[in-house]
Structure 1
Amino acid sequence: MDRDVGNWLTGLGFAMLTCNSILAIYRSKEDAWSVAFVVSAYFALLFLFWCLRLYERTAPNLAQTWKLKVAIWSMSTFLTAMFSYKVANLMPWPVALVVWAMAVPVICGGFYAFFIHHDHQ
């Protein structure tokens, strides 16, 4: 993909994320917990994408790479837990249990992929 097109699409994605977040805050302005959810999810996504961008540009085997892996896994775990909690609250308890049962392998799989699995080439 052409670099200019990628930058344009990235900017469009962030603009849509920002617009949707503003609309969600506006619609739920009476509910402080919902506003806090949207704001924390928005900034967690921004931080996650920023860390991913730094990780892509960092040379392997540096101390900074380890710190970025921790930050990326922590943010993805935080977002998975947040969205699982929000979805599980809307569901009857058997379905909520399934939601949490799907979230746990995602979190553990991310941990395995970042910290345990080593690519042998």
Structure 2
Amino acid sequence: MRATTTSSATDSPMNPASTAGKSTEGDASTTAKMASAAHSAVDIAAANLEQAEKALREARAAAGEKVQDGAQQAKAYSEDAVSSVKTYIDLYPLRSVGIAVAAGFLLSSLLRK
């Protein structure tokens, strides 16, 4: 006895007509999954970039404050130094002239060489 098959030639796996529908469905499903994964990756990257931008802005603000504080301290220090020199000159005018002359000689001898 022969076994009879109920499948026709169009249902065979080798027939492109029967596999075309399945392949297209599989391709569409794979494409949708890949698109979904890509969208998720972009969303995660965007969230990470937003966090990085926020941290960078905060760091920039903190650095700006530190620079301003440093500039104010330098200004105060230089004002104190100028005040101290003026006071010394007022208290010891001849000594100040002697120091200035000695510094001038020293500087000119260094610059000649």
Q: TM-score by structure 2 length? A: 0.30
| More contact order relative to length (CA 8 Å, sep ≥ 6) | 1
Q: TM-score by structure 1 length? A: 0.28
Structure exhibiting the larger radius of gyration computed from Cα positions: 2
